[in-house]
Structure 1
Amino acid sequence: MASLFSCSIFSGKIKTPDYTASQQYSEGKFRNQKDFNMNDSGTIARIAWRYMTEKRVDASPAGDIPLTQLNKEQLIAENKTGTALYRLGHSSILLATEGEFWLIDPVFSDRASPVQWMGPKRFHPVPINHDQLPEIKGVIISHDHYDHLDQTTIKQLSSIAEYFITPLGIGQLMLDWGVDQQQIHELDWWQHVNIGKLKLTATPAQHFSGRGITGGNQTLWASWSIETPDQKIFYSGDTGYFEGFKKIGERLGPFDLTLIENGAYDQDWSEVHMKPEETLQAHIDVKGKALLPVHNGTFDLALHPWHEPFERISELADAAGVKLVTPETGERLDVANMNGTSFWWRQLTTK
């Protein structure tokens, strides 16, 4: 049950402030625009049975994933101007714009799990240790699942990151982990904040939250519009496909680059994670120009082969005439001058 494990296992103490002013909050919980039940006992039992009985094919890479090591001096030197980003693995991104550095959903731990002795383990190391990072202007969080919000990482970053920008409710977790209240900005969908060189707008997503089997949806989930001085970037966070993408495109698009989840999908949780065909459609809906697929290549979180998301989205993008960018882990991607698809994963399959 790797995917559910990384999303919501073990009880966590989350206080619940009054969020009744939010249209997303009702009867003590945050809700999607569309109602569905993700954590019913029947679904969990079916998923558990499939993990125990289905034969796996290429669950992990057949070799070392290509990786570029990063360090503070290099990052500062090559990012004095313009906007660039580095994939750190899964959905973790280091964003540099005009000399400022930002992190998106950073997870530096070895496992996407509440404990480090079990749970989904990395296929590759992080290309930079937290103590080698330059000063971080801000940390952007999409939701509270373990593969996107890591307690150890947040504690490590609390002294080198100036701000933490989160959806509603996650600020309390930050406070519990030692982040100062003055560093935290909580946003509801469609609210925005201007910090440093960026304008950040929390946008809708279709997902769920919780760091325990019970007591879920006490915090909100979000996608993000990220506006730099010269470009606009969309980050989907975790989400199923829904009509909200079109509204995001209408209100905030077009986007020069989209970072959209493409991995850990399955028919048993299709409401909260997208198939590659839906990833492509979401990119089109938000009026994206180039697509960088994320939420893949680092953790084993579903029953499909680890490389399948890359292959499927590259075929779909090619057929649709959509520019796909697939940088290696740690490779610098200049947002103003993006190279196309690099099929680096093909050397690591058993075919």
Structure 2
Amino acid sequence: MKLLRRTLIFTLILAGLFSMTACFIMKQKKFGKTPSGERLERIKKSPNWRNGSFQNLNPTPQLAEDTSMPEIMFRFLFGKVEKKAPVHAFHFEKTDLRNLDPNQDTFIWMGHSSYYMQIDGKKILVDPVLSGYASPFSFTTKAFKGSDLYTAEDIPELDYLIITHDHWDHLDYNTVLKLFPKTKKIITGLGTGEHLELWGYNPKNMIELDWFESSDLGNGFKINAEPARHFSGRTFKRNQAIWASFVFESPNQRIYIGGDSGYDDHFKKIGEKYGSFDLAILENGQYNKDWRYIHFLPGENIKAMKELNAKRMIPVHNSKFALAVHPWNEPLQKITELNTENLRIITPKIGENVDWKDDEKVYEKWWEAYD
């Protein structure tokens, strides 16, 4: 009886210590904050807000019907995956962003979903995760060796910082803190501004958009928020901020910034709404049949490109972090194999200065050198 009592007391003490530790960790600023005040009141008026959270346009299970979370965790933790990360470190050349011709239209990929663009004289950065990891803790979800080419210090003064949603692999606390002083405007989905405001960014310089809302940026520039099929959340409480794709329009270009999304009929509707795109930047990687509703499976991004009527596509969301159980180089292999119609799909190296309007340039299959 005494042994049972001691065991029970010890268990309760451990549980209490675990709860206190978890509570302390979750109160750190990097986890952000759920919307409140005027922002919450605006959210509650959104047609996309129901039953206390944002909803996708069509029913979207987090997990496919034929699987379960224990199965997924078991496969992720104990399943054998060949080439989940490159065996050898990447060796890429780094474009000096600070000394680019400001009038040059360019795209520079930083791995995963982080990229820098210059469009008609505007400097734009999307979803920068430049701290070497994509999680709350620096010892997990580390960048592949050689992929973390850029730091926040390499970024020039920005006209626009675009954040598609608040997941850790798209919104990095340490990176954006360093970028705040040199960012004129942040553009993001409705609700994500609560994190940014908590972290010290002036809400007067934020543009928060719900799906189907637009903001005139002046001088022929415009930003439009469109749907994506995904979810949001930096803690256990999900979907308090909306996840979005964005259409960036300049006097001469129309760019589709896809963020994260599973396939759905919104791509066709967006294509019909805008007519065509000069460039679509779409996710390509971190997929699994278990979460096929919230990330493209191979080939679905090609289908989306066609429905968007995009002249060109750059696939991202790969080659920096292992967030799924496929080989690291499979997304790039698959998209080139499945491009049977010879669509203009651009596959640059990390750090490469890309003139994406040059349709004569041939891009090498650089990932094969690291096979």
Within 2, Cα distance between the matches of 1:223 and 1:330? 23
User: Which residue pairs with 1:142 in the alignment?
Assistant: 164
2:227 aligned to which of 197, 204, 216:
204
Deviation at 1:125, TM superposition (A): 4.2
1:175 aligned to which of 197, 202, 205:
197
1:31 aligned to which of 34, 49, 55:
55
User: Which residue pairs with 1:14 in the alignment?
Assistant: 34
Deviation at 1:233, TM superposition (A): 1.2
Deviations, residues 91-139 of structure 1 (Å, cap 9, x unaligned)? 1010112332110111111100112122343443433332232211110
Q: Does 1:327 align with 2:348?
A: yes
Structure number with the higher helix fraction is 2
**Range with bigger deviation, 188-197 or 54-63:** 188-197
Q: Does 1:231 align with 2:253?
A: yes
User: Which residue pairs with 1:250 in the alignment?
Assistant: 272
Deviation at 1:265, TM superposition (A): 0.4
Structure 2, gaps ≥5 residues long: 1-24
Is the CA contact 2:63–2:291 (under 8 Å) kept in the aligned structure 1? Answer: no
User: Which residue pairs with 1:290 in the alignment?
Assistant: 312
Deviations, residues 207-253 of structure 1 (Å, cap 9, x unaligned)? 001111x2110000001111222221112111100000000000113
Deviation at 1:73, TM superposition (A): 3.9
Q: 1:205 is aligned with what amino acid?
A: A
Deviation at 1:170, TM superposition (A): 0.4
User: Which residue pairs with 2:297 in the alignment?
Assistant: 275
Deviation at 1:178, TM superposition (A): 0.5
Deviations, residues 275-300 of structure 1 (Å, cap 9, x unaligned)? 12111101111111111111001101
Q: Does 1:61 align with 2:82?
A: no
Deviation at 1:62, TM superposition (A): 2.8
Deviations, residues 117-170 of structure 1 (Å, cap 9, x unaligned)? 223434434333322322111101111100001111111111000111010100
1:98 aligned to which of 103, 120, 130:
120
Secondary structure, aligned partner of 1:95: strand
- TM-score normalized with structure 2 length: 0.86
Q: 2:216 is aligned with what amino acid?
A: N
Report the aligned-residue RMSD.
Answer: 2.0
Q: 1:31 is aligned with what amino acid?
A: Q
User: Which residue pairs with 2:184 in the alignment?
Assistant: 162
When residues 280 and 39 of structure 1 are mapped into structure 2, their CA distance, relative to the original with a 3 A threshold, is: closer
Q: 2:72 is aligned with what amino acid?
A: I
Deviation at 1:196, TM superposition (A): 5.6
When residues 157 and 22 of structure 1 are mapped into structure 2, their CA distance, relative to the original with a 3 A threshold, is: same
Structure 1, gaps ≥5 residues long: 1-8
**Range with bigger deviation, 166-175 or 18-27:** 18-27
When residues 323 and 52 of structure 1 are mapped into structure 2, their CA distance, relative to the original with a 3 A threshold, is: same
Structure number with the higher strand fraction is 1
**Range with bigger deviation, 336-345 or 104-113:** 336-345
Is the CA contact 1:65–1:345 (under 8 Å) kept in the aligned structure 2? Answer: no
Is the CA contact 1:111–1:118 (under 8 Å) kept in the aligned structure 2? Answer: yes
**Range with bigger deviation, 336-345 or 149-158:** 336-345
- TM-score normalized with structure 1 length: 0.90
Is the CA contact 1:123–1:297 (under 8 Å) kept in the aligned structure 2? Answer: no
Q: 1:101 is aligned with what amino acid?
A: K
**Range with bigger deviation, 161-170 or 55-64:** 55-64
Within 2, Cα distance between the matches of 1:156 and 1:253? 38
Deviation at 1:74, TM superposition (A): 2.2
Deviation at 1:72, TM superposition (A): 4.4
When residues 123 and 150 of structure 1 are mapped into structure 2, their CA distance, relative to the original with a 3 A threshold, is: same
Is the CA contact 1:66–1:329 (under 8 Å) kept in the aligned structure 2? Answer: no
Secondary structure, aligned partner of 1:58: coil
Q: 1:347 is aligned with what amino acid?
A: A
Within 2, Cα distance between the matches of 1:51 and 1:105? 25
Secondary structure, aligned partner of 2:335: helix
Deviation at 1:195, TM superposition (A): 2.5
